[in-house]
Amino acid sequence: MPELPEVEALAQFLREHAVGAVVGRVDVGALSAVKTFDPPVTALSGRDVTGAGRWGKFLGMECGDLWLITHLSRGGWLRWIDEPSPTPPRPGGKSPLALRVHFFTPEGATPAFDLTEAGTKKRLAVYVVHEPAQVPGIARLGPDALEVTESAFAELLHGASQRLKTALVDQTLIAGIGNAYSDEILHAAKLSPFANTATLSAERTAELYEAMRAILTDAVTRSVGQDAARLKGEKRSGMRVHARTGQPCPVCGDTVREVSYAERSFQYCPTCQTGGKILADRRMSRLLK
């Protein structure tokens, strides 16, 4: 899933490649991905692209007084195409295409970008709104993970009274962190995913805040400026524990472990994070006694 660093990099990519262009035709490949109907997506055609932004894990392109907002969900992505096919795609079917936006640039080029997601069921969501806050998911967001102050972070965390892993990925609490970077943040802070936010000491809370800032800032630095097609690879290359089950921890050499639950899983290092204890790998997992 694209998280704060990748979405920030995509926003910067749009600022560099789309701002100044005029929106041409907008092709809808998956009707289910479009969550608004007034204004319609066709209202974007003919408008100048004036900006791009990010709200948590939401990506937006400003077109005058309208915004095209997308949430890429778990498997969605933005793909830039320098020479798109002039033939409109056929909606439905097994195509990964959810939406294609064509452009006319001042230099006379006609690029486009595709919003894609594999599979017939599109979780990726697209909105056309006058203000970003009209998107329900944006309206519910907590403060951005790179903008929240340390004192506000501590207050939010201690008031949540839930597991650290759950709190970090709760977008209404702190916006922008998903499954991958929460694993990395907790590993850097040497904290168990199952530690409770309400009982975390002031010292450990400060360490968690600093780890969050460091991990995300480093990831943004590595991601911004990358071609959109390379961002996924850049994200994977920077991971120390996430998606590294069975591999040695780069800090202590212990084996990285995994806990699976529902449709997801997370990874951690027992030596670095849980005092050597192995977390039970079952849906309602807890520390083994």
Residues recognised as catalytic: 2-3, 57, 264
Cα distance between residue 66 and residue 87, in whole Å: 26
Burial of 89 (0-12, 13-18, 19+ CB in 10 A): middle
Helix (H, G, I), strand (E, B) or coil at 236: helix
User: What is the C-alpha separation between 241 and 187, in angstroms, rounded?
Assistant: 7
The three-point CA angle 189-191-193 to 5° equals 125
Token output for 283: 């849906």
Per-residue DSSP letter, 33: G
Bridge partners, 113 (sequence order): 80, 101
